[in-house]
Structures are given as structure tokens and as C-alpha cells.
């Protein structure tokens, strides 16, 4: 019986989430594991450092065809007699992990946030307002992990890289276009997030938000009405109906802290809130707070961030 891990390594560098998943799988197995990936990514041997002994890559599969990728994963799972298959709980993992689980009649843990205790996996439920322990009773287990759930280990050696020799089957999905939305740090991966709400009054006032984010190496986010009014792009919307994030540090500016907003950010390690209303509900969920006008406070924060950067 063995553990294998499926990761998305398309793009020019190995994502942090992939390194976390390989680390998680090898910790679970107590030994180096086989990693499965697809597309044209390079530098795959470096996954050895995170705990992969071997990387099997299906270069011919480039689009997110969940049927082909399911065939790929279950082929290798059967070859390696895998009883545990680890995924990342991101857009790619969500396409493949449920299929693999249904095919193998495996109990599937969506968004594990820690290594298990026996067969019990801890995960967030009720949009982060509670946690649950899911007990998996099937012989095969499918586990998708949340970003930032495990520190990456880097003490392994190099992995061997092999081309997948099987047939992933016909494709019913074609990638027509990939529209780039600018550089920036992808929100779900960001360790620091600077977020702003309706208190910013209008899209023309976002320059200080972006500047503070840049100084801190942070991603930018926003509340739902801000995205709905098209002040900011939809992919920045965090909360119950937007993206759920769990950065180390979440700085919220001019956001009231409605329960649906908190649902997407309450897993942040540290929350700092800036709001002119001392009664804003967000302060109850915050670690640090400043009561005041964002337009007066932002320049002070930017200046302090610049000073910090100059010192380190």
C-alpha cells in the first residue's frame, strides 16, 4: 500500500501549493512518494526536496480535462497499489479529486487543514465558522489539502522524472484561450492580504491600497459590494460567496465586517482592521484595530512599510 499525490505544475514555476501537497503526502506516508502531474511544466525533479521520489508527468494532457486526469491518476494508483491519494483543494484538485473518489469508492476529505489523527481529518465547515473531523472508513482515501496547511519541507533529494506511458483516453475538453489578468500574487496563495471595502468610496481611491500591498508583498482583495459595483475585479472578492482565504495576515480597510465577509477571512492568522466607526463589527474579529479615516491612515501605513523595507 502506498501514498501518491496529484499536483498541477503548469506554468513556469512549481507552485507553493504543489510543494505543500508533496510534503503532506510524504509526511502521511512516512516515506518519499510518487507525484503525478501533467502539462509542460519544468523543474519537476526539484519536487524531490519536498518528498517525492518519482514524478510521473503526462505531457500530452494540457487542458483541465477532468476525465483524462482521472484516468491518469487512477491508472497510477492501481499500478502503485495506492490507498491514499493527496490533492490540493484548488481549482484543479476540485476537478479531479471528487471524480477519483467516486471511481474508487473512496472517502474524500475536502480541504484538510492538518495531518490526520488516525482516520480523522480536520477540515473547515460552515465557511470557517467551525471545524469538523471527518472519519474516513473506506479502504482508499482521497485527501485534498487547503493552502497554507503544512510548512513545506525541503530536505529531500532529487526526484526522478518519468513520462506517463498510458493512454489518458479521448478529450472532450479543449482549452480555447487563457486570458492573463496581470501579474500579482494569486489570492489563495498569498501570505499577506490587503483588502478594502465600500469605505474607500470609489475605484479611483485604490492607489494607496495597491501601494501598501506592494510594499508588504501582499495580494489585494475586496468586499462583495466593491466587486459587484465593478470597482475591483471579481476574483478579488473574498467572503462566503467569493474566495475563502487563510493568509498569515489580513488587513481590512473600510470594511464593516459583515458575517458573510468574515466567513471568507476568519481563518487568517492575524487580522488588522481600519475603520472610522468604532462600532464596526469587524473589530470583534480583529487582533489589531485602528479607528480613523482610511484616507488619513493609509499614508501612515505606507510610510511605515517603506521604513520597514528600508531596514530589512
Residues 246-285 within binding reach of ligand FAD (CB under 6 A): 254-256, 258, 260-261, 264, 275-277, 280
Host H or E run for residue 235: none
What 3-state DSSP class applies to 187? helix
Please identify which residue in 155, 163, 165, 183 interacts with another protein, judged by CB under 8 A.
183
Tell me which stretch binds another protein (CB under 8 A): 32-40, 46-54, 195-203, 304-312. 304-312
What's 6-57 look like in SS3? ECCCCCCCCCHHHHHHHHHHHHHHCCCEEEEEECCCCCHHHHHHHCEEEEEE
Yes or no: say if 256 and 275 are a contact pair by the CB < 8 Å rule.
Answer: yes
Tell me which stretch binds another protein (CB under 8 A): 27-35, 47-55, 152-160, 189-197. 189-197
Among residues 311, 309, 310, 265, which one has the least CA distance to residue 285?
265
63 binds, among ligand FAD, another protein, none (CB under 5 to 8 A by kind): another protein
| In the complex, least distance from residue 280 CB atom to ligand FAD, rounded to whole angstroms | 4
CB half-sphere exposure, 273, CA atoms < 13 A? 23
Nearer to another protein, 167 or 293 (CB): 293
What is the grid cell recorded at 20?
505543500
Tell me which stretch binds ligand FAD (CB under 6 A): 59-67, 115-123, 183-191, 218-226. 218-226
Please identify which residue in 31, 125, 158, 229 interacts with another protein, judged by CB under 8 A.
125
Nearer to ligand FAD, 62 or 205 (CB): 205
Yes or no: say if 200 and 206 are a contact pair by the CB < 8 Å rule.
Answer: yes
Binding site for ligand FAD (CB under 6 A): 197-199, 223-226, 239-242, 254-256, 258, 260-261, 264, 275-277, 280, 293-295
Amino acid at each position: 500500500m502506498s501514498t501518491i499525490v496529484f499536483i498541477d505544475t503548469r506554468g513556469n514555476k512549481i507552485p507553493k501549493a504543489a510543494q505543500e501537497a508533496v510534503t503532506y503526502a510524504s509526511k502521511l506516508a512516512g516515506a518519499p512518494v510518487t507525484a503525478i502531474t501533467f502539462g509542460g511544466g519544468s523543474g519537476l525533479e526539484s519536487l524531490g526536496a519536498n518528498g517525492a521520489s518519482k514524478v510521473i508527468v503526462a505531457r500530452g494532457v494540457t487542458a483541465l480535462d477532468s476525465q483524462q486526469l482521472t484516468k491518469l491518476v487512477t491508472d497510477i494508483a492501481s499500478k502503485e497499489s495506492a490507498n491514499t491519494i493527496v490533492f490540493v483543494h484548488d481549482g484543479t484538485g476540485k476537478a479531479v479529486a471528487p471524480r477519483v473518489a467516486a471511481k474508487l469508492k473512496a472517502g474524500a476529505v475536502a480541504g484538510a487543514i492538518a495531518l490526520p489523527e488516525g482516520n480523522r481529518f480536520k477540515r473547515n465547515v460552515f465557511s470557517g465558522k467551525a471545524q469538523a473531523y471527518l472519519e474516513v472508513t473506506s479502504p482508499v482515501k482521497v485527501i485534498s489539502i487547503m493552502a497554507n496547511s503544512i510548512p513545506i519541507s525541503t530536505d529531500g533529494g532529487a526526484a526522478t522524472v518519468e513520462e506517463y506511458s498510458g493512454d489518458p483516453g479521448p478529450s472532450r475538453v479543449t482549452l480555447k484561450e487563457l486570458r492573463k489578468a496581470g501579474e500579482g500574487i494569486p489570492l489563495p496563495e498569498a501570505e499577506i492580504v490587503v483588502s478594502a471595502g465600500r469605505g474607500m468610496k470609489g475605484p479611483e481611491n485604490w492607489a494607496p491600497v495597491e501601494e501598501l500591498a506592494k510594499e508588504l508583498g501582499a495580494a489585494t482583495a475586496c468586499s462583495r459590494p466593491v466587486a459587484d459595483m465593478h470597482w475591483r475585479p471579481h476574483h478579488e472578492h473574498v467572503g462566503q460567496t467569493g474566495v475563502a482565504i487563510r493568509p498569515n495576515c489580513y488587513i481590512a480597510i473600510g470594511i464593516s465586517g459583515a458575517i458573510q465577509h468574515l466567513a471568507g477571512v476568519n481563518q487568517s492568522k492575524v487580522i488588522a482592521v481600519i475603520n472610522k466607526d468604532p462600532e464596526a463589527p469587524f473589530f470583534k474579529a480583529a487582533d489589531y484595530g485602528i479607528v480613523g479615516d482610511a484616507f488619513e491612515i493609509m499614508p501612515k501605513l505606507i510610510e511605515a512599510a517603506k521604513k520597514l523595507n528600508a531596514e530589512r
